[in-house]
Structure 1
Amino acid sequence: MATFVVGGVEKIEYAPASLLGVVSDGAWKEVPNIAPDSVTFTKNQGTKSSITPEDKDVAFINFFTPGEGDTLALGVLEQNPALEQELFNVKYTASTTTTDFKAKEKIANLAWRITTRAMKDGRKAVITMFNTDVQTGYANNLTKTVAQQLALIATLGTYRPSGETEDYIYSKKFVTAAGATIDSSTP
């Protein structure tokens, strides 16, 4: 029986966000030079509260309060002007290769697609987050032994595919090492 293990990053791509969970293949752009050990995907948990009546020893009713949104964090070693224009409120002048950063902050609304490395049984995962709000800063000092990197934190929002009645946060699809779809409907 094949196993499904998720680990490592083969590539990360971004595109304009989609509230319907649909991004055309041509819209995805690869993030260049991801900083080592910088990618984290955090599933935040909510809080359960209960009301136990005075005359009982078990909860009568439970309430669930959602936590903060799930997050994707990553560092990017290359300060690519195309990516900076997606992430920051900037004016880029190609003829002088100058990026002017405006005073008003920007929260970028992007979709993300992470393709993991094949870990076990030649399978890898493709994790797609169709709707995120991204805040960007910098990490690392300006020294001769360290590269300054873009530090991105994307908070996941919801999307609802056409015809569905519920909201979704992300999708995870397992594929072969070559990227082909795996049919798990037959044992």
Structure 2
Amino acid sequence: MGASQSNGQVVLRSETPVQFAPDVIEQLSERQASSTPTPERQSTLDEHIRTRIQNEVRQLRKAEEQVQEEIRSALEKENLDREKTMAGEASVNAEAGAGSVKSSAALLGDLEEIRVKIDRFQTRKSLVNYPELKASQDALISCYKSHLNSSLQCWKEVANFKASVSQLEKEYFKTLQ
């Protein structure tokens, strides 16, 4: 009796014939004809495939995060380099009298200066230091509000307000001389 293996098949040679029951032969031929695995084997294969897919997705997400971080750092470096070169050009242009491009730090300083100027303007606009002008302005506003359809009836308040402004302008011009 000899046994040899080729291509995963076992060939047995015997002098006595071997007989199998018909249901065994039928079961073996069904398994061989069917390309689908058993339900237990299929669930094991599915679980293995799901695990491999999840691992691959995790690796891809990590790689994506790394690429995004590299891009972000490269853009930051590029922006800083651009600001430095623009600031260098701005100083050269400022010396030459041309228009200038400023860095973000210089722009923040300019913005703070503008805020201070706005605050000063708002305090001047409030008319706290000029009570007679404020009173004539309030009288004019209340007259306009009470005579919405006939604003010409507020001519006295308009004249008083104009006189107050004129007086204030005269005082201001005296301080300039």
Normalised by the shorter chain, which TM-score bucket? under 0.3
TM-score, normalization: structure 1?
0.16
When you count strand as a share of all residues, which structure comes out higher? 1
Between structure 1 and structure 2, the one with the greater Rg is 2
The TM-score normalised by the length of structure 2 is 0.17
Higher helix share: 2
Q: Relative contact order (alpha carbons < 8 A, sep ≥ 6): 1 or 2 greater?
A: 1
